[in-house]
Structure 1
């Protein structure tokens, strides 16, 4: 494993480094949420909440000064590429190169950094900016693995299905919150985490979907405004709840609840 370029056409590596799927908090059938949760009953489960940003899921793969930038499904840029497809990719390229300058990444360690890029032209971008060219990036997870371990993993994985099972069953060596906080501090303000909302027991989130929606409304305004004026404190996409060990992750999107109420004519 000399650099990351050798993995650009490797579907196993691509699948391995994707972010796991995030389930909805309530079960969904045919676009309608049910008064039934997606996780096993465990009222002692402690979760923390962050804002769900309506942007594009991005991963930075960093190894010995080399890097790849990927969307949720595919690679969009590799260090040294001449072709830059749009302003968003240019922003991400400049961003990761600034991170490489500000943080000392260890040798022979593969880092997978996940976050959300939001701003001009991305999803419901006018919730975040009125500018014709303005972007932001917030991280929400990181894992890292030594060279020998990632090489052994790639050798042992025989199919994309096997890799998918590994990924979706939370086998990544996730960083804990102390490690994440240290990383953010050492990046001297360049890196920011997805806005923190609340730490609570899972039992404090209502099961009834109407009550859940009312609970969510306290987090309805975004904290990732890019204009810095206060005039653009528009609606957040929702919230994400996680346990510290990532054994449970779920999303609650305002749109999902509002569409459910409209279809069921309950609101």
Structure 2
């Protein structure tokens, strides 16, 4: 949630505001209710899994990403081959948010193998 007064700040001040924890994130249930009330489409959700099932090894995460998201569901250009960028992992309360990028895991594995 972004307060209206924040929108009039300079980009540098907005950056500082965010870095200092100014931006609030709604829990998933509240976000869903708000999106329905306001008629706003949410980003794609591909599923819910317990944190204990999120892969912790590079190879496992690369395989997990390839399995969970074989193609993108939000291609901006058809000539890109619908290759997915990655997925965003969030706790239900949205207290922790991270992006797992397929390309990052592939690069890490190539570096590890010396290719």
C-alpha distance in 1 between matches for 2:44 and 2:61: 20
**Compared with structure 1, are the counterparts of its residues 266 and 194 closer, same or farther at alpha carbon in structure 2 (3 Å cutoff)?**
farther
C-alpha distance in 2 between matches for 1:6 and 1:176: 22
Do residues 239 (structure 1) and 101 (structure 2) align?
no
Provide structure 2 residue ranges, at least 5 long, that are not aligned to the other structure. Answer: none
- TM-score (normalised: structure 1): 0.35
C-alpha distance in 1 between matches for 2:114 and 2:64: 17
Work out the number of aligned pairs and report it.
111
Q: 1:207 aligns with which of 56, 80, 85?
A: 56
C-alpha distance in 1 between matches for 2:11 and 2:64: 44
Do residues 178 (structure 1) and 29 (structure 2) align?
yes
Do residues 225 (structure 1) and 68 (structure 2) align?
no
Equivalent position SS for 2:48:
strand
C-alpha distance in 2 between matches for 1:232 and 1:254: 15
* Larger strand fraction of residues: 1
- TM-score (normalised: structure 2): 0.72
Report deviation, 1:181. Answer: 1.4
Report deviation, 1:207. Answer: 1.9
C-alpha distance in 1 between matches for 2:87 and 2:42: 14
Give matches, 1:81-120, under 5 Å: none
Cα RMSD (Å) of the superposition?
3.2
Give matches, 1:148-163, under 5 Å: none
C-alpha distance in 1 between matches for 2:111 and 2:83: 21
**Compared with structure 1, are the counterparts of its residues 7 and 226 closer, same or farther at alpha carbon in structure 2 (3 Å cutoff)?**
closer
Structure with larger Rg: 1
Do residues 265 (structure 1) and 113 (structure 2) align?
yes
Deviations 1:43-68 (A, max 9, x none): xxxxxxxxxxxxxxxxxxxxxxxxxx
Report deviation, 1:246. Answer: 2.5
Provide structure 1 residue ranges, at least 5 long, that are not aligned to the other structure. Answer: 19-163
Is contact 1:223-1:233 (8 Å) kept?
Answer: no
Is contact 1:237-1:255 (8 Å) kept?
Answer: yes
Equivalent position SS for 2:60:
helix
Deviations 1:63-87 (A, max 9, x none): xxxxxxxxxxxxxxxxxxxxxxxxx
C-alpha distance in 2 between matches for 1:194 and 1:179: 15
